[in-house]
Structure 1
Amino acid sequence: MQEPEADLELLERAARHAGQIALGFWRNDMRSWDKADDAGPVSEADLAVNDMLRDMLTAARPDYGWLSEESEADPSRLDARHCFIIDPIDGTRAFIAGQEGFSHSLAVTDGEKIVAAVVHLPARNTTYSAHANGPALRNGQPIAPSDTGIDGATVLTYRAVSDPGHWRDGQVPPFRREFRPSLAWRLCLAAEGKFDAAVSLRLAWEWDIAAGSLIAERAGAAVTDRHGDRMRFNGPRAMVDGLIVAGPRLHGQILSGLRR
């Protein structure tokens, strides 16, 4: 059995290769199109990165399952103790638009838990990483969330979260709302305290949040779904019911303010 440290080293190597491929397409002519069922855009770069990652990672760990946004569902992953959970390019719209805020999100599970994780932003030369037995790092340096309370907190989320219908007695907390295109990056930004929290009240695909959830947890943030429950991964639906990622004090204040 591989240790999380060894899996993390593998993910870091793979993420660097992914970045090289992505930057070869970025801000150059490339094909992109919309997926069926309003599932968002995809580009030839997404597929090229996905193919490389699958070849590299499954060759190194042939007994691991595979779950990726850009691969056909493989139910055999549910029988594997370990599984790769991958978003080849998170923030594809930003990538296609030539913006820097896209990332590669790579994670490994042990059962329902994430044990190794990398979020790599090649255009920003930034890599977040963690494994289950060590600290969360940004470019090799330890990170930690903020210790702020909800008054004046800066929360990475989308506009609809400010709808009074989501909050007890219609009282929207006095936080400032910001947005970044990659959900994986949002979790990492909350983990390092550049923003105070990342919140989503929508169902989230596992590949968008698997890596960032471990990085935030190992940084010292409280990481749960929208109901305050522990996230579980490599499930049949491959979805988590929302997310709240913040320092423990702010996390508790957000959770207690939500209508549930």
Structure 2
Amino acid sequence: MVADIDLLIDAAYASGEIAKKYWKKTPEVWEKSGGAGPVTEADLAIDRMLKSELMHARPNYGWLSEETEDTTDRLHCEHVFIIDPIDGTRAFIEGSPTFSHSLAIAKNGVVTAAAVYLPALDRLYCATKHGNATLNRDKIDASTRSKIDGATTLAAKTNFSAHLWQGPVPQFDHHFRSSLAYRLCLIAHGRFDVMLTLRDTWEWDVAAGSLIAERAGACVTDQIGQRALFNNPRPMLHGMVAAPPEIHAGIISRLAPR
């Protein structure tokens, strides 16, 4: 039987082939209800393909995807796919190359295999629970920086609001990418030091990237310092912080209580 990680890699490449048919070609776009953001015909086409192919290969696995109506069936499964067909849909609509496909498998709440693919840049990030983090099959490592002030940080500006911190907000060197999965992979690759999202976060946005960053050597938890567990009845986490261990500990200690 094909290994889970190889199954995800093949599916990630197939997702990219579909995405490239729509990218920069003005795909049809709809706004989701409840202010949940945009979805395109490409998101839906990729989601249909992934669910068909992956569930055919692993019929006993559960299914959780941003673009599939959720059911409680997955809660009774030991393994579950956690999928974001296109993470960074706004970037995709704008023609930016920084959108990604985020694919993960969790076993009893712990991510065991992950692939994040950026087809426009041909970058495939992968990890397994007991293996290295890789970019296009080459091993990658996270930053080893220890000082918070000056750390290069990927986060939306809202994460630096004073009410989220105890005392002064650290003097981060602030940057942004729209895809949370890609942000976590950039942490894994050591291109930035810190990734922050200090609001409740959908599991499909961070499941794959969190394992990749962790296997690269970053410390990855929710914003209260607890290891993230996936496949929750309400599939959201208390934010996410990924950083080298010393910086991570400093950030957690300086965040305001939730």
Q: TM-score, normalised by structure 1?
A: 0.97
User: Amino acid of the residue matched to residue 156 of structure 1?
Assistant: L
Matched, 1:138 2:126: no
CA distance in 2 between counterparts of 1:230 and 1:136 reads: 18
CA distance in 2 between counterparts of 1:117 and 1:70 reads: 18
Partner of 1:155: 153
Partner of 2:90: 93
CA distance in 2 between counterparts of 1:162 and 1:241 reads: 16
Q: CA deviation at 1:239?
A: 0.3
Matched, 1:22 2:19: yes
User: Amino acid of the residue matched to residue 167 of structure 1?
Assistant: W
CA distance in 1 between counterparts of 2:218 and 2:190 reads: 9
1:6-155 mapped onto 2 (5 Å cutoff): 6-148=3-145, 149-155=147-153
SS in 2 for 1:123: coil
Partner of 1:236: 233
CA distance in 1 between counterparts of 2:179 and 2:225 reads: 23
CA contact (8 A) 2:187 2:193 kept: yes
Q: CA deviation at 1:86?
A: 0.1
CA distance in 1 between counterparts of 2:250 and 2:188 reads: 17
CA distance in 2 between counterparts of 1:187 and 1:60 reads: 27
Partner of 1:186: 183
| Equivalences, count | 256
Percent identical pairs in the alignment equals 50
CA contact (8 A) 1:191 1:246 kept: no
> Structure 2 unaligned runs (5+)?
none
CA contact (8 A) 2:200 2:239 kept: yes
Partner of 2:200: 203
Matched, 1:172 2:169: yes
CA contact (8 A) 2:16 2:117 kept: yes
CA distance in 1 between counterparts of 2:19 and 2:180 reads: 18
CA contact (8 A) 1:147 1:250 kept: no
CA distance in 1 between counterparts of 2:161 and 2:130 reads: 39
Q: CA deviation at 1:153?
A: 0.4
Q: TM-score, normalised by structure 2?
A: 0.97
CA distance in 2 between counterparts of 1:246 and 1:143 reads: 15
Q: CA deviation at 1:29?
A: 3.0
SS in 2 for 1:124: coil
Q: Give per-residue Cα distances to partners, 1:130-158, cap 9 Å, x unaligned.
A: 01120000111111111112121011001
CA distance in 2 between counterparts of 1:144 and 1:254 reads: 20
